[in-house]
Amino acid sequence: MNKIPIIGITTDYQEKVNSYSKYPWFALRRHYTECLEIFDCMPIILPLTKSLPDLDFLDGIVISGGDFDIDPSFYGQEITSEKVQTIPERTDFEMKLIDQFIPTNKPILGICGGCQLLNVYFGGSLIQDIQSNIEHEQPNPRDETSHEITFPKDSPLKKFTNNKITFINSAHHQGVDKLGNNLTVTGTAPDGIIEGFKHQSHYYCVGAQWHPEFLITDFDKNFIQDFVNHVKKNI
């Protein structure tokens, strides 16, 4: 009997009153779990904890997005935009999680804020507010595509689409500025914003600035399936 891949997904953390609860809460959109279940995986939700237990039972992890920003102090800057809102507890937890997983060579996928976190983890920096310089964030809802993504000639993302023009969704006010060490760009938006990257030597360590978990297009579906395939091959 083949082992079902177990994939951990980090959660958002909020203390906002008059939202889900008047007490602190964790949250995760079901798209993150459903896109993995479709490809016969067992998603495990990982709330942030003060101490990180041994998560060796996980076969891969997804660093999810959320309503927060990474503290610029992690990349040697001070906050320069009033739009920057940090959740230090979450960033600390996810940094420790990556610390634990990098040596295992198990697949790591960072989506949106998770993509930004991976870039910072590897020594990169972020644009603190894209809208201050260019109009990038889409007016469309996340379940609709917004703008084109273009690929360098050797990008592994090319194999996920047969279309001459590929579109993705977009929902982020920050983005990659200086690319982290040993990372290679795999996709960009027409305005130059980096939409994807991969680590040059890790078995599978990939950042996606868009939200492929919505599975809007065949490109999204093939991207997620490729992540799952890497998880399955590594078990």
Q: How many CA atoms lie within 13 A of 100 on its CB side?
A: 18
Alpha helices in the chain (DSSP H): 30-37, 88-101, 113-121, 218-233
Whole-angstrom distance, CA of residue 214 vs CA of residue 206: 17
**Of 142, 137, 99, nearest in space to 118 by CA:** 99
Active-site residue identified among 35, 94, 136, 213: 213
Active-site residue identified among 136, 172, 211, 230: 211
Q: Is residue 199 annotated as a catalytic residue, yes or no?
A: no
Which three-class secondary structure string do you get for 31-57?
A: HHHHHHHCCCCEEEEECCCCCCCCCCC
Whole-angstrom distance, CA of residue 169 vs CA of residue 66: 15
Angle at 182 between CA 176 and CA 187, to 5 degrees: 45
Active-site residue identified among 35, 41, 94, 112: 112
Please give the positions annotated as active site.
Answer: 112, 211, 213
